[in-house]
Copies of this chain bind each other. A is one copy, B any other.
Amino acid sequence: MTTEQPPRTTPATLVDVAERAGVSLKTASRAINGEPHVAEATRERVAKAASDLGFQLNSMASLLKRGIRSNFIGLVTGDLANPFYSSLAKGVERELRSQGLQLVVSSTDESAERERRLVEEMVARQVRALIVVSTLEASEVLQGAQDRGIPVVFVDRPADTLVADSVVLDNREGARMATQHLLDAGHRRVGFVGDFSRLPTHRQRLDGYLEAMAQAGVDGDEARLLVREDLHDAAGARGAVLDLLSLPLPPTALFTSNNRVTIGALTAFRASEAVAPALVGFDDFDLADVLGVSVITHDPVDMGSQAAKLALEALTARAPRGDALVLPVRLIERGSGEAAPGVDWRR
């Protein structure tokens, strides 16, 4: 069935197809688009002509005519190479695909400047909706997008000043559970290692940690001595943990507030002579089971789907209510959190 190709110049248009099939432009259009009121024979003739010509509807023209400005949803995340974000992207894509929409992705690397540029670019390219893991320092452009009628959905981090829907995790409760778990194992000096202090996720997790600590009767100031913040990559977290471990009164347990920080902590444990503290991390990760690391887990793929669903709803002209959908988190106990103070949980 080798269809001989036409001499590859300009792509065939509907007019060409109509001509070849011996019908009018409109009939060809009807046939191609599967509209009713076309005789079966005609439809087949058109289909044949189209396939002979390697015809492909020009979606630009089609969409222009229909007044649709695009079929794309934009996703602006921190860093695609981070499994958390890429899982999110996967969830978004899966949901959109089922609706015939496509996903355009981009990474800000947590730079507000890049976020601004990316959002502007996406707006210029007329994405139908925007799903963002925002640095929150670029809300003007997001406001601008919203003003232009492009729905904005926040994921992972709730909207700051904008009135927009968001999908977030139960950060505070997760952190509280993690910390409580460590306290229950008999620890008092529980440290906290966290991401950028400006992030709401961070702040909520810190709050949850402090809440648990306070409830256990640990003085706030005392707890804060064991808090390290603004660690955005594994290398930085590693340094901070080494620092904590070399304290005169080092923590006997650690709550690490995201996947990269947890990995940095594990690297630090390996590099340190000291007994590894007990550990619970926020975010599950590959090999956490092998390493016996207890974590606060959740479902980033689902989170992406939920965000996509909100974006799709928003497409149907519903005004944003500024709701935050809070997804549950769960503790998985693997041993690292149950260790008694001073006892190494690694084999």
Residues of B with C-beta under 8 A to A5: 147
6 intermolecular pairs with C-beta atoms under 8 Å apart = A56-B124, A59-B124, A102-B122, A103-B106, A263-B290, A270-B290
Cα–Cα distance between A59 and B104 once the two chains are bound (Å): 16
Cα–Cα distance between A234 and B285 once the two chains are bound (Å): 13
Cα–Cα distance between A289 and B80 once the two chains are bound (Å): 22
Residues of B with C-beta under 8 A to A123: 56
Residues in A lying within 8 Å of B, measured CB to CB:
5, 8, 11, 54, 56-61, 63-64, 68-72, 79-81, 83, 85-87, 89-90, 93-94, 97, 100, 102-107, 118, 121-126, 147-149, 234, 263, 266-267, 269-270, 285-287, 289-291, 301, 346-347
Cα–Cα distance between A80 and B89 once the two chains are bound (Å): 7
Chain copies in complex: 2
A93–B72 CB distance below 8 A: no
B301–A81 CB distance below 8 A: yes
Q: Residue A60 contacts which of B89, B121, B126 (CB distance < 8 angstroms)?
A: B126
Cα–Cα distance between A318 and B100 once the two chains are bound (Å): 32
B148–A11 CB distance below 8 A: yes
B71–A125 CB distance below 8 A: yes
Write the nearest CB–CB distance from A346 to chain B, whole angstroms: 7
Q: Residue A90 contacts which of B8, B81, B270 (CB distance < 8 angstroms)?
A: B81
Contact status of A87 and B81, CB under 8 A, knowing A59-B126, A148-B56:
yes
Residues of B with C-beta under 8 A to A59: 69-70, 124-126
Contact status of A104 and B104, CB under 8 A, knowing A59-B70, A80-B90, A125-B59:
yes
Cα–Cα distance between A271 and B94 once the two chains are bound (Å): 34
With both beta carbons as reference points, the residue of chain B lying nearest to A289 in the complex is identified as B267
Q: Which of A63, A86, A87, A124 has the most CB atoms of chain B within a 10 A radius of its CB?
A: A86
Q: Residue A80 contacts which of B72, B93, B269 (CB distance < 8 angstroms)?
A: B93
With both beta carbons as reference points, the residue of chain B lying nearest to A61 in the complex is identified as B64
Q: Residue A287 contacts which of B70, B97, B266 (CB distance < 8 angstroms)?
A: B266
